[in-house]
Amino acid sequence: MDSYKHHSSREPNNSGQKTSYGARALSAAVNELVQHGVIPVSKHTDYLGQASLYLKQAYRAVTILRESTQALGDSERPNQVPWDWFLLHQDEDIRAGLIGINPYRPVPIHDHPGASGIMLVLEGHVVERSYQVDPETEGSGDKVKLIPGQSRYLEKDGWSVFMSDWNNLHSLSAMSRPAMALSIHFHPNREKARSWFHVTDSNPDPEKGIMAVRSHLALLAHRTS
């Protein structure tokens, strides 16, 4: 699926009218999930309307979260997760929130079993790296080998999607300065069996795979994207 390598809504606007790049990007992401059957065609308009509402809420929250994220700087955060999460909405069908990522504290490798979702960058640059569990180590216990996949470099208004069978295992990091992104998950209750992966290789070789320990416990009992 090479079409997922990088998405951006920033195209020339010859009309001279002000365009909401974020809204266009979100619409494109929703359309992508409709095309792959994640969102029923009959509910396309409803889901897009909901997602657009969360985007407006996220824009209002960006200033607050930006100040919180930048205030962290390089300081240590003992006994806390390394990223910020601002919940916007949650029910049985959808969870939406704003995630803030510090360049020095990436979101570790994790999965979203049974769920699908959208990430739309609102500020900064996000690097999303996907992985797959080597099937030879899948049933061998907590220690598994991860095979690195694509890396996506998403700037402001760039977006990516994940589905139950594609890009479901990934990590997130920010480049040079704190980044913020809108995260929307569909069928979030299926993620109760989420796994986090702690890389154990001191000098991992992506060509040979990365050894990691898998935990089914939410990282520090913190619910995030």
CB 32 within 8 A of CB 161: yes
Distance CA(198)–CA(177), nearest Å, equals 24
For the cut 50, the answer to whether the pLDDT of residue 21 exceeds it is yes
Please give the DSSP secondary-structure letter assigned to residue 106: P
pLDDT, tens digit, 9 for 90 and up, residues 66-125: 666 555 454 555 445 667 888 999 998 899 999 989 888 889 999 998 899 999 999 999
pLDDT, tens digit, 9 for 90 and up, residues 208-220: 899 999 987 644 4
Distance CA(43)–CA(37), nearest Å, equals 11
Instruction: Residue 108: name the closest of 205, 195, 177 by CA.
Output: 195
CB count, 10 Å around CB of 126? 28
User: Is 127 contained in some domain?
Assistant: yes
CA dihedral over 1, 96, 225, 135, signed as positive or negative: negative
CB 161 within 8 A of CB 116: yes
User: Is 162 contained in some domain?
Assistant: yes
Could you tell me the pLDDT band of residue 144, with boundaries at 50, 70 and 90? very high
Whole-number average pLDDT of the chain: 82
Structural domain for 37, as ranges: 18-221
User: Is 11 contained in some domain?
Assistant: no
User: Is 12 contained in some domain?
Assistant: no
Give the CATH number of the domain where residue 162 resides: 2.60.120.10
User: Is 191 contained in some domain?
Assistant: yes
Check residue 82 and give its pLDDT: 66
pTM over 0.85: no
User: Is 140 contained in some domain?
Assistant: yes
Distance CA(113)–CA(165), nearest Å, equals 9
Check residue 158 and give its pLDDT: 96
User: Is 2 contained in some domain?
Assistant: no
Check residue 65 and give its pLDDT: 64
Check residue 16 and give its pLDDT: 35
In the chain, how many domains are there? 1
